[in-house]
Amino acid sequence: MTKKERYAGIIEYFSEHQPNPETELQYTNPFELIVAVVLSAQCTDKRVNMVTPYLFDAYPNANALAAATQEDVFQIIRSISYPNNKAKHLVGLGRMLIDEFNDVVPGTIEELVKLPGVGRKTANVIASVIHNLPTMAVDTHVFRVSHRLGLVSLKAKTPLTVEKELVKEFSDDIIPKAHHWLILHGRYTCLARTPKCEACGITALCKSYPKIQKYGHKAVDEKLPKIG
């Protein structure tokens, strides 16, 4: 199977089974989404969704967040991973949104990464979800799944190189959906420790599946790049 055929098959499968994939983070506007995405770094969406209602009730907009203290924000998000750093980032993010972006979440990667706590992955999520731009955020799920499926080469050893290979193959209109397809597939089916190959609908398209059947997923994963 060629890479082109693999991509085509995956697009066909997910277009039928998940035609409108969406982020599982709960939000009602761009401000809430960027805050939620910053909180989601190295933390589950489920945990973030448990905390953000209280955070948004206390700080419903950038103005309110900009006026907050780091300690007050920390008290609300303390159950999130790295709460000290994230509390500092969120207060700084609120202030920068007001001072430099007129209370508007920017729409370009170059502007988004200027915000505290916003790296390239977070910026790509915002650009894709809010502005429907062809940006591919590469988290641990996307990194793992794209390698297992054979969507990217073994030379793609960093999130950025994986991102570049994926956006080269997926068309611009598909990239925002593909981002969610790969994340959700990694979150619920192609798990890191115990992939549910028996429940997977795309084993026929998976480059790793024949080897997993023969040697087991651990032996196969040992030869694939690990996200740094």
Distance CA 179, CA 128 (A): 9
Q: How many whole angstroms separate alpha carbon 86 and alpha carbon 65?
A: 13
Q: Is 173 a catalytic residue?
A: no
CA distance linking residue 126 with residue 148, whole number of Å:
26
**Annotated binding residues for [4Fe-4S] cluster, as ranges?**
190, 197, 200, 206
Catalytic entry in 139, 168, 172, 173: 139
For 95, the token pair is: 């202030």
- Candidates 86, 121, 177, 221; catalytic one: 121
Cα–Cα distance between 208 and 123 in angstroms, integer? 30
C-alpha–C-alpha distance, residues 48 and 187, integer Å: 15
- Sheet strands (E) in 105-149: none
Work out the widest C-alpha separation in the chain, in whole angstroms: 58
| Active site annotation includes 121 | yes
Q: Where are the beta strands (DSSP E) in 72-132?
A: none
What residues are designated binding site? 190, 197, 200, 206
Phi and psi for 121 in degrees, rounded to 5?
-60, -50
How far is residue 146's CA from residue 58's CA, in Å, rounded to a whole number? 39
Q: Which residues are catalytic?
A: 121, 139
